[in-house]
Amino acid sequence: MADFLTSTHRAKWIFSTQELAEKYKASNQRAIQALEKYGATLMEVDADGSLSYPEPPMNPKDTADKHSRPKPLNIEEERYMRVFYENKLQEVCNNFHFPHKIQATALIYFKRFYLQWSVMEHHPKNIMLTCIYAACKIEENHVSAEELGKGISQDHQLILNNEMIVYQSLEFDLIVYAPYRSIDGFLNDMEEFCRVKDDQLHLLKALHETARMEVDKIMLTDAQLLFPPGQLALAALRCSNGVHQVIDFDSNDSVFFCLHASLQIPEEHPLSSEFCTQCFRAH
């Protein structure tokens, strides 16, 4: 069974805020340089998965005519585009009634892809669909590219053409961990340790449903690239508890205090209101 502690997710795909900023800046600068050199940035992906770069202008006058070129996006504008298509990704998955784990896996793939590339180099609409297709494969919920493309009136060949570049950009690290499963685990522990009675189960159910909605919001930020899924799950549960008041976080007898001690998480980190706020802050 896959284990987060020994996973590539933990070893390779959790960064500091500075590291993320540097990656976004590098891809943005590369796209801007391509625009200056070629007059275009968007790469063509051939049927065999190979990339076709824009051809440099043959006429020196073409290079001089910079006023006719499209204006490059800045880093903040790229972020807005990513968030827009992350929301679209969630909509597509909901429309297909995919299991929640597919949506989460596809979102993580999408985020990792755009650590390597600018949205000016690969259109997010096409990459979004390929990430969903790849997530369906890895989560064993097989949907053909034709079926996926037909369901949203898109050419399925674009999905297939981008498949290899997506896998390569993910460095073939396809096993990922989202906070949803951690929420289930924490609530199961709470039910066991607190010896929850049947007439109290509705409290945990309400806590669970709201926490999952909070994770949906977290998944649209960079938190997934900054913190382990267990910490994000705890932050979501704390925010959910702010609504339902099921747990006393300040009591030493609290089940969360026990979990906190066993996980050896710093007192000021995932159970703090500051951490919870950070998880929901727009990236």
Q: 3-state DSSP: the chain helix, strand, coil percent, rounded to 5?
A: 65, 0, 35
**Predicted confidence (pLDDT) per residue in 191-222, tens digit:** 777 676 677 778 888 888 999 999 999 999 99
pLDDT at 187 over 50: yes
The per-residue pLDDT for range 15-66, each reduced to its tens digit, is: 999 999 999 999 999 999 988 887 777 777 766 666 766 666 555 555 545 5
Tens of pLDDT along 147-175?
A: 999 888 889 999 999 999 999 999 999 99
Q: What are phi and psi of 105, to 5 degrees?
A: -65, -45
Other residues' Cβ atoms within 10 Å of the Cβ of residue 263: 15
Domain 179-280, what fold? Cyclin A; domain 1 (1.10.472)
In tens, the pLDDT along 56-95 reads 655 555 554 555 667 899 999 999 999 999 999 999 999 9
- Looking at CATH, the fold of the domain delimited by 8-169 is given as Cyclin A; domain 1 (1.10.472)
Give the pLDDT confidence score for residue 76 in this predicted structure.
96
pLDDT of res. 169:
96
Identify whether the C-beta of residue 79 lies closer than 8 Å to the C-beta of residue 115.
Answer: no
Domain with CATH 1.10.472.10 in the chain: 8-169
Q: What phi and psi, each to the nearest 5 degrees, are found at residue 228?
A: -65, 155
Nearest alpha-carbon partner for 122 in 176, 94, 163, 154: 163
Strand partners, 52: 44
Is the confidence at residue 264, as pLDDT, over 80? no
pLDDT of residue 55: 66
Residue from 209, 201, 208, 215 nearest 185 by CA: 208
Q: What is the pTM of this model?
A: 0.82
Best CA proximity match to 255, nearest among 200, 198, 205, 195: 195
Give the pair of three-digit tokens for residue 250. 């300040």
pLDDT tens for residues 95-128? 999 999 999 999 999 999 999 999 999 999 999 9
What separation, in Å, do the N-terminal and C-terminal C-alpha atoms of the chain show? 32
Residue corresponding to tokens 């498949």: 163
Task: Report the SS3 class of residue 52.
Answer: strand
Residue among 32, 202, 214, 215 at smallest CA distance from 119: 32
Report the distance separating Cα 37 and Cα 198, nearest Å: 68
**Higher-pLDDT residue of 91, 257:** 91
